[in-house]
Chain A
């Protein structure tokens, strides 16, 4: 990269401040009604997912799964299964070619047994995998495997796991006890005892969050084929570049450039499956089976097997909060016990620090092992923080008899400071002084009719006999935005359209269309002239929607590439063309300098004389038999004695990147806020909670793609209501067996399970992303679940701090169960 290009990109990297490079005019960015690039493909059933892949000679592989929550294999007899016609190979845990452990995916390099001998949860893939001509035969063969098991004692409850004498849940990796020290963390700020001493009121409560999970519409699966010695792999994964790195570490090492990855559309698993540290185990086994049989192998889970594992907010939380009578919170102290988190814990009182002026905060997270599947960030790792913020604020408001909206506004701030302090930081960083929370609250209150409908808890019975409740919560927007991205754009020969090159890890957030909107506006092109070309290989690393960060990182990369490319186009338009051994032809815009030209509506024109113009199509010209940049047709030009020559422009391509650390590292303050409102009707006879209205207000800084943002709002509201009200993976305490691993008994919301959802977007420009954006994909589904708690409390006057809030818990709170 030339030095001037490097410096031009680096000047765009300053995202510790307000964006210094907005456009004067936006045509595609923020426009309503932009058609999704994938819309027709998905609506017509043409979109292909990994589960749809069929290759000549392909075998199907299924895992044996443990019938016990904790047990080890003493011996295994696979002879009957091997004899079943159609079975082509069986890989066993004791196969000499299997390494003791391998890197099998997850966030960071991991080390896991490929085919474990010991099961630590019921349903775990253990012991054997069968490859057969069909899924059905593989399934039959699994039933013919005889295993002698040694059952071990197990523990399912996170607090019971901490008791003295509790069974060890995973003595292989945690022989010292179920509390695993390396993930036990303390968040501390100020002095909570001092804060309690200053308080007028002390509020204490306990919160329990049950286990919910992602429910990927497409089951976990993958296909592995060896083309000679080179792997070709189809992955249902949200970070295909991690898959490539992982595969490269197998079998003594495979050079990255020999591995071909295909990442098709994905029946989303909302980050969940992609973060499980064993998620490449199927591929490892498929690779071995494919090598032995000489055939491609598709490994596949069944529906039930997709239920093991879940969101990392499962656990028990204890809070002690101090507040003054006016609603000022002086201290928040918490202790939480979380089971089976596979990630470093993110804490559960972090939002008080990032998002409020509460000066004294202490939170201790205890991570324990139990005999259930792994928990990972599903939609987001900040669910626990959102539950904490929602319930602490609403408990405080209730205890003091205050309106929760006022309590929120009173405590808004950052790092223990109030809004005056935060406003001066905003000013230093070049942002406008918008009061994001206040704007969100005002819009949300107006939409739901808050001032008219708000009432004291348990006081409003409706004509239909049900109790009416209103709930409110808030937090910051997700501008964590850590990550890196590479993208490129090239101008096509012949017609001058632009092709963006980048990786695909589509989970439906419509990111690819949004990249085109940014590129179109930056290049001065019509949106229909820009297209996203996903690379079948993970050569272009990018922050995929899974990795918590999409537009706020990738938006910079695509914008940087577009700006570099536009400069190249204008330079090419003012430089001699057809530079060959025969000399050169005059520029397309003779005698002009790049800065005298501009591009609009896909037309290059002279700013001082707009009639001097050439469309990009005319400019790039026809590419013919002389190769991609030469032609014997087109615009002929005399060239003296040497005959006729033909003009062409040089290849137009730009590659750019972005790297940023984001707010996780404490590098930036969070400025944008979101506020959510919910109206419920509670049947005090049955305990059922009808969510009749949700108003979701997000300050996204700036909207790039309206339909995409709104989709995350109403979609997140549905998922959030499901999580908060009906979704829980239930285990039998006597046997440790999962009881509801299916979509009949695990209750995902249907269309009619949530009432009207209003989606409101605020554009304060206070994001650190390009044009001032922040993210939205993760947050609504993450904030909404706990909001059901205060809404139900407002209806019945009793707290149900036990999620999901199922009818039996409501009846219990009412003293009727």
Chain B
């Protein structure tokens, strides 16, 4: 049960992350998750840890354009990559934020950023999703307060308010 007495060294490495357009040089241990680095090292506390095993979506971030679960991603593998977190989405005034407020698509709010990030990734690849497609995109996000019905409405409205590309 107990590990051996001798110290098992955990390697450390300096990595570069471009988070919400800002470059960060971070010294990370090889076993640190991206969620831990964003939340604890960079202070981007909107990226929440909930289940810590890829079951809930609360820690979702957009990595090189794809939504990933940052609790299941090692930071050391993200060297040189581009990451978008909830803070960046809010800073860019994405219409999702206003739609979420308008439709009260949150209660305790702990899981809300993960939903917004997942929805942002959906709208990036599919700016005109159907109700079913929104459901499929968000089915991996857990909300214990049960706010689900409002997310679909908010995401569809945000889609209709996306700036033209």
The chain A residues found within 8 Å of chain B, CB to CB, are 33, 35-36, 38-49, 51-52, 54, 80, 85, 136, 140, 143-144, 146, 214-218, 265-268, 270, 302-303, 506-510, 707-708, 711, 714-719, 742-744, 748-752, 754, 757, 781
Q: Which applies to chain B's interface (DSSP): helix, strand, loop or mixed?
A: loop
Nearest Cβ on chain B to A297's Cβ, whole angstroms: 16
- Are A744 and B135 in touch, CB under 8 angstroms? no
- Are B55 and A217 in touch, CB under 8 angstroms? no
Binds A, one of B11-19, B94-102, B122-130: B94-102
A46 and B2 in contact (CB under 8 A), knowing A265-B108, A509-B107, A751-B151? no
Task: Give CA–CA (A49, B7) in the complex, Å.
Answer: 34
Task: Give CA–CA (A265, B86) in the complex, Å.
Answer: 17
Judge if B163 is at the interface, Cβ distance under 8 Å.
no
Judge if B82 is at the interface, Cβ distance under 8 Å.
no
- Are A45 and B100 in touch, CB under 8 angstroms? no
- Are B104 and A717 in touch, CB under 8 angstroms? no
Which single member of A41, A49, A718, A743 contacts B146 (CB below 8 Å)? A718
Which single member of A52, A718, A752 contacts B135 (CB below 8 Å)? A752
Task: Give CA–CA (A430, B113) in the complex, Å.
Answer: 47
Nearest Cβ on chain B to A266's Cβ, whole angstroms: 6
A757 and B149 in contact (CB under 8 A), knowing A40-B101, A45-B47, A711-B104? yes
- Are A54 and B40 in touch, CB under 8 angstroms? yes
A-B contact pairs, 8 of them (CB 8 A): A35-B102, A45-B45, A45-B46, A51-B49, A144-B3, A750-B148, A751-B141, A751-B143
Judge if B65 is at the interface, Cβ distance under 8 Å.
no
Residues of A within 8 A of B90 (CB): 43-46
Residue of B nearest to A217 (CB): B110
Residues of B within 8 A of A717 (CB): 146
Residues of B within 8 A of A46 (CB): 46, 87, 90
Which single member of A36, A140, A781 contacts B101 (CB below 8 Å)? A36
Residue of B nearest to A43 (CB): B100
Judge if B139 is at the interface, Cβ distance under 8 Å.
yes
- Are A44 and B45 in touch, CB under 8 angstroms? no
Task: Give CA–CA (A218, B111) in the complex, Å.
Answer: 9
- Are B112 and A218 in touch, CB under 8 angstroms? no
Task: Give CA–CA (A48, B44) in the complex, Å.
Answer: 11
In the A-B complex, the 6 residue pairs with the smallest Cβ-Cβ separation, listed nearest first, are: A45-B46, A718-B146, A508-B107, A42-B109, A45-B86, A715-B146
- Are A751 and B2 in touch, CB under 8 angstroms? no
Task: Give CA–CA (A236, B89) in the complex, Å.
Answer: 27
Nearest Cβ on chain A to B138's Cβ, whole angstroms: 5
Q: How large is the interface on B (under 10, 10 to 19, 20 to 34, 35 or more residues)?
A: 35 or more
- Are B109 and A265 in touch, CB under 8 angstroms? yes
Residues of B within 8 A of A749 (CB): 146
Judge if B77 is at the interface, Cβ distance under 8 Å.
no
- Are B108 and A742 in touch, CB under 8 angstroms? no
Nearest Cβ on chain A to B59's Cβ, whole angstroms: 11
Q: Given A44-B86, A267-B108, A711-B150, output 6 extra A-B contacts at Cβ < 8 Å.
A: A43-B109, A44-B87, A49-B48, A266-B110, A714-B147, A719-B144
Which single member of A267, A715, A750 contacts B140 (CB below 8 Å)? A750
Judge if B5 is at the interface, Cβ distance under 8 Å.
yes
Task: Give CA–CA (A40, B98) in the complex, Å.
Answer: 8
Q: Which applies to chain A's interface (DSSP): helix, strand, loop or mixed?
A: loop
- Are A43 and B112 in touch, CB under 8 angstroms? yes
Residue of B nearest to A81 (CB): B2
A719 and B111 in contact (CB under 8 A), knowing A45-B86, A707-B104? no
Residue of A nearest to B91 (CB): A44
Task: Give CA–CA (A743, B106) in the complex, Å.
Answer: 20
Which single member of A54, A144, A752 contacts B43 (CB below 8 Å)? A54
Residues of B within 8 A of A41 (CB): 109
- Are B106 and A303 in touch, CB under 8 angstroms? no
Residues of A within 8 A of B121 (CB): none
Nearest Cβ on chain B to A300's Cβ, whole angstroms: 11
A215 and B151 in contact (CB under 8 A), knowing A43-B112, A267-B110? no
- Are A742 and B112 in touch, CB under 8 angstroms? no
Judge if B162 is at the interface, Cβ distance under 8 Å.
no
The chain B residues found within 8 Å of chain A, CB to CB, are 1-3, 5, 7, 31, 39-40, 43-53, 55-56, 58, 85-87, 89-90, 96-97, 100-113, 116, 135-136, 138-152
- Are A217 and B104 in touch, CB under 8 angstroms? no
Task: Give CA–CA (A781, B145) in the complex, Å.
Answer: 10
A751 and B135 in contact (CB under 8 A), knowing A44-B86, A217-B50, A718-B146? yes
Nearest Cβ on chain A to B51's Cβ, whole angstroms: 4
Nearest Cβ on chain A to B33's Cβ, whole angstroms: 11
Residues of A within 8 A of B139 (CB): 750-752
Residues of B within 8 A of A42 (CB): 106, 109, 112
- Are B151 and A268 in touch, CB under 8 angstroms? no
A143 and B1 in contact (CB under 8 A), knowing A44-B87, A54-B43? yes
Nearest Cβ on chain A to B65's Cβ, whole angstroms: 19
Task: Give CA–CA (A303, B51) in the complex, Å.
Answer: 6
Task: Give CA–CA (A527, B58) in the complex, Å.
Answer: 32
- Are B116 and A43 in touch, CB under 8 angstroms? yes
- Are A44 and B7 in touch, CB under 8 angstroms? no
Residues of B within 8 A of A54 (CB): 40, 43
Residues of B within 8 A of A144 (CB): 2-3
Residue of A nearest to B31 (CB): A136
Nearest Cβ on chain A to B89's Cβ, whole angstroms: 8
Residues of B within 8 A of A218 (CB): 48, 50, 108, 110
A743 and B40 in contact (CB under 8 A), knowing A45-B85, A751-B141? no
- Are B45 and A750 in touch, CB under 8 angstroms? no
Task: Give CA–CA (A751, B152) in the complex, Å.
Answer: 9
- Are A266 and B5 in touch, CB under 8 angstroms? no
Task: Give CA–CA (A711, B151) in the complex, Å.
Answer: 12
Nearest Cβ on chain A to B41's Cβ, whole angstroms: 10
- Are A45 and B104 in touch, CB under 8 angstroms? no
Which single member of B3, B109, B142, B143 contacts A143 (CB below 8 Å)? B3
Residues of B within 8 A of A49 (CB): 45, 48, 110
Task: Give CA–CA (A666, B109) in the complex, Å.
Answer: 36
Nearest Cβ on chain A to B120's Cβ, whole angstroms: 11
- Are B45 and A52 in touch, CB under 8 angstroms? yes
Residues of B within 8 A of A268 (CB): 107-108, 110, 144-145
Task: Give CA–CA (A742, B53) in the complex, Å.
Answer: 8
Residue of B nearest to A721 (CB): B146
